[in-house]
Amino acid sequence: MCDECEWEESLENANRLLEATDRLPDKCLGFRDGVQERLESMRYWIETNEHVTEPMKDAMDNIEAGMRKWGAF
């Protein structure tokens, strides 16, 4: 377990983003499917390793920004 990276917060963020994919419009199904796949993969890795990398955090920030553009938040 990594006490320095705040992996639990990132795991919660991945779960929050996954829940929000249900609010994406139908016209962006490809985006939604890709986002779900990436978030599920990151969530699994974070949970398994009890660690999160900076690139993963950046990726989740970028995913959230894209989801905001599509109106999920």
The two tokens of residue 30 are 């490809």
CA 25 from centre of chain:
18
The per-residue pLDDT for 21 is: 96
Q: State pLDDT tens for residues 14-47.
A: 999 999 999 999 999 999 999 999 999 999 999 9
42-67 tens-digit pLDDT:
999 999 999 999 999 999 999 999 99
| 3-state SS, residue 48 | helix
DSSP code string of 10-38: HHHHHHHHHHHGGGS-GGGHHHHHHHHHH
Listed in sequence order, the residues at least 6 apart from 59 whose beta carbon sits closer than 8 Å to its beta carbon are 38, 42
